[in-house]
Structure 1
Amino acid sequence: MSGDPLRYFRIEARELVDQISAGVLDLDQQPGPDLVARLLRFAHTLKGAARVVKQQEIADRAHEFEEVLIPHRTEDAPLATDQMRELLRLNDEIEARVAALEPAPAPGADVPAPPPATGPVAGPVAGQLEPGVPPETAPPPRAATADVDDLLDAIGEAHARFGPLRTGAHALDRLHRTAENLADQLRSARAGGADTARLGALRLAADLSALGRRLTDSVEQVERELDEIRGRAERLRLVAASTVFTALHRAVRDAADGQGKRVRFEGRGGDLRLDPHVLALVNGAFLHVVRNAVAHGIEPAADRAAAGKPAEGTVVVEVERRGRFAAFRCTDDGRGFDVAAIRRAARARGRLAPGAPEPDERALLDLLLRGGISTSAGVTEVSGRGIGLDVARDVADQLDGAVTLGSEAGRGATVELVVPLALLSVQGLVLEAAGTVATVPLDAVRTCVRLLPDQAATAAATGRMAHEGRALPFLSLAGVLYAGAAVPDSGPPGVAVVLAADGEAVAVGVDRLAGTSTLVVRPLPKLAPAAPVIGGVAMDLDGNPRLVLDAQGLVAAARNGRHVQAGAVPAAVERLPILIIDDSLTTRMLERSILESAGYQVDLAASGEEGLTKARARRYGLFLTDIDMPGIDGFTFVARTRADPALSGVPAILVSSRSSAEDRQRGAEVGADAYVVKGEFDQEELLAHIRRLVPS
């Protein structure tokens, strides 16, 4: 038996607790015998499992949970308020005891940081929460990061072993051609044994050809499967947005119970999978936002009836992807923000200058977001909301996001937090255009249409394509990806991919489709600001970045008429190539993309030693080198090229994360012609340096 007897129980118990927590909250809103029966099954399973591993306290509380529910097995009527409170209390105690079974992390282990402390909720909301309410954290991801990293490493190692197989396939192909040449030579021979030798050579060629085809097909199939496995393994690092809905639902329920109100919670967009760190931070902020929406936005039943509203209020939390961003939006159907109270509080606290023009509603809401405004010494219509907004603003600052407020008097308020995506899992359609492979999110694809040559030529020339009785804007993907540089001649696009975003549809011309793939999208670093049509990058099995397109950016580009026809961009002026030296694969590839898009030829080196070897073997117009590399660093590389008469005239640019005056001075002393700091990187600044140093 395993040395940890609770190992499997913890996994099962966590899942059952999650199901019970969500089920109890659903039962509060949608009572019925089916849901009661499902909750009884969960509780009974948990009770039995707990008894097996001698966790009697958990088993006892699961039994008490059953006792509350059993009388309602055949009833459609809602449970009494005290019964719901008892179920929630037992659920909290079970959850706390299951959490206590988690083993302590090993010394030095990488433990995910908890979300920042959000402080107590002001006013009666805090005082009326049940004592067993769990802490304000998002549920932890189900897969340990270390385990996922090990899985990804194993997949990478397995893929590395395909290198010799690919080499072997090429060798077999060469042997096949050699055997065919031998057969041709023997065919013309007149020696007595020539026929036998010729037949043997032909048989060898046939066998080698068949073996080579089988080997190539097998390698390609396994590589496709590994690509899919890697995408799914990376996806394990992400967490579904729905994992925060249960905690938010519970917060709404507790706040409504404390205020004597009836409030329905709805969660939408829960299938979107996001970085768990982002979800944890947003969860901490939105716990305050939804509580205050209930306490100070949703009116009492009598006031709602007088306003012609249903007695039950509604709080909706929606999550949606917007290109490179995720939007979290909380909407209620309450009274909205009390603009007059905000104005009075702002004047009382000196936030509005005497004699200044009266601010409009938008300006007042902006003041509210800045914090420090409370409409009274106690909790009033806006004081509780202010705390939630302070937390939301702090989270936005931490994640480089933004918070916006909306309000309509008597109809409700909206708090929206938009944050950039660090990681995002999507299903993608793999495209190829002019030799470049890219991926577009599959949820933006409406259909794909094969183009005849004359149709492709007309669409590329006019920027419009007829589809289902409409003239859609047409965009050549090759023309956009190679903007400002010569587009490789790959012929007219063979397929139009019809995309939809922001309520508009466009057609994007590509050379071919290469299937679908599960991938994790990463944002582009500040080192390489990209065009709006680029949403991020995903790593392929060889560790190379693959562009992920942004549907909104493509729609905007097509709307603005950027339908560049493949081959229409004039060829770039012939220049000496540029040598990029950096030990980071991602940085090398991104810098190459920037320079090639600007029309430069590029060679790559992964170390200072390799850079010196290449510099002495070919003429270059410029060296672009990192500083911090194993072996020969960037300072040493530049110094050695300056000491070499054959290389001393080649300009050099240092690109580094170092920003101190001492490092800049040292770069100048060794002979660098420019120094670019990665943290302050500007693509146009780099290209301006290159244009100044490399003759056109």
Structure 2
Amino acid sequence: MALDIRRFIQRFIEEAADHLPRLRKGINALEQGQADQELINELFRSAHTLKGSSRMLKLFPITALAHSTEELLSALRDGTQTTNAQVISLLNQATDGLADMINQLTQGAAPESLPEADAALCQALEQAASNRQPLPEGASEEVEPPLEISAPLTEAPARSTTRASSNATADLRLSDTVRVRLDRLDDVIRLMGEVLSGHHHLHSLVVQASELSATLPADKQAPFNAFNRELKDSVLAHDTLMSDLHDRALQMRMLPLNVVFDPLSQMARELAHSLGKHVDCRVRGSEIELDRQMIDRLSDPLIHLLRNALDHGIESPHERQAKGKPARGQLTLEAWQDGGWVIVEMHDDGAGICLEAVRQKALTKQLISEEALAALSEQETLDLIFLPGFSTKAMITDFSGRGVGMDVVKRTVVDELSGDIQLSSEPGDGARFTLRLPLSLAMMRVLLISVGGLTLGVTAPFVAELVKRSPETFIDAAGQTTLILRNEFVPVIALADLLELPTPQAQVPEVLLLVVHQRHQKLALMVDALVDERDMVIKPLPLHLRHLPLVSGMVSQGRNELISLLHVPALIERSRRSTQRTAYETTPSPQAHRILVVDDSLNTREIEKDVLEAWGYQVTLAENGRDGLSKALAEPFDAVLTDIEMPIMDGFALTARLRESELYSHKPIIIITSREKEADRRRGIEVGADAYIVKGSFDQNNLVDTLKALLG
């Protein structure tokens, strides 16, 4: 009786799931000029294996397309054909065609229902391969007939005189992997987390045993101490073993980013074609691995960023040529590892984001007032696109089954993935979205702190540092308690007050400050004590608690003790709402002086703005020297306040450039910096500054008095 080949379709699908990503990755490498021999050999082997395995299972459409692909790769391998745009395009089309047919099999299509291979594509592949040298006279191409299977594939194949028989049978081998249901794997990881937490509890038992030893009679202490030492040694010996075991369990759930990147690369070509645009999508770093949970949630945000780049960013071929650009746009999707983080970046060489268009859209949709908009820096203006309702443009395609906006992209990355997203743009040169993500949501470094009698957790990615300071070193900035931390003003607030917990009334000589951050914002939280710091298993909140905005998850400690993890972005937002800066009783002048504040720290800019506005000044903010120079030359200001240490253009250079302008040759310029050296003061005077204020001795009355004296 003939073998029922349908039993082996699943094995072929699993095998193809390994070879298709290799083909995509290899073709991308070829496109970037990495045409080394081993790379081409690997591509050839993948196409050859798909051809042989599909022939054995009578998947003839797949066999035909894989054979034509193999022909072209063979020509590349022999050196009779070279890599060029046409070859890359054909190989990409062939891989897409193979993936499409294999996807139909995955969805349950019968082998006989597969459509015929694209004859035009097969012909184009073989024509591209026809650059091979002519065969010697009298020689003929070796024909590979279809292979009939009449014995189980797990048995040794019968000897055959044909190359096709031996190669095809050898290529369809048993895989060295096993497939495990994801829910079962999640159960293993969950149980490993419980075991690890329980093991950590043994450390507290060791401490308790040591304390108990001191209470025993002298004649009992020696044997108990021996027992205690053995217990301690055993616990310590198992620490590394337990940690390694849990790490291995987590690694089982890690997947390479090509699971997300490869479909995006294919989607980019299809969507660009539908828009009448020509785009090369380059992928780098797709071998970087992330937890499966991260991979699943990352797809939708990246899809929306891709659509945004192709629809709004990259221009049509005609527009690009009119601007002196190549007709083909470039879209790059890359990833790299940075310590315990993975950076995923998508950037294009399109038109960039028009700041004026962003401002107009924000005003039209009443997302911000004109006064508030005028005070925003360039970066803050760009970030307006992340506001809910900024754009209501319908999605071009329905690739993911549902449309998402930029606000959902940000919420997914920040709230669900405990990451961060940054946007930069250069007019005419494109936009860049940078996502910073933890390797896994299952286990992270956690700081346990004590506040108001409770133990709470903060995940390490949001922690900038822990410092101790005397309350006497804090300054009052427009009613906001503020810490001067190196070159930055950081708002200070008691975490107990934010959480509405009881706070001790006693004064202490020093307070412990947990400085947390999100993007450009920092907040110093007063806490009672640091309890512990270690890698912990993160548990999602149960459904009935997921409405709590300040809690992102839970960790367990000891025996079934659950500790809430604070959600830092929500804490920062609550602190901004709860500490509405109180303006001093002042009477603004009918024609208030206009002040430009230039500093790369968002906290410092905002605090200086609040101080000045409390005294009746109109304030505009700039985030670096170049931004400040652009704004200063675009409209007149009565005075400029600038930091020194800033990217792109520092405060010394800004001051010197402003003094070159007739508009600012005599306007007051005040440097506010953490630099205390006399040489820096002298340089400030040399470039034209009227005053030099050190942040370490900052006093808002001194600043206001200085401004009043200079403005007259």
Question: With structure 1 as the length reference, what TM-score do the two structures score?
Answer: 0.47
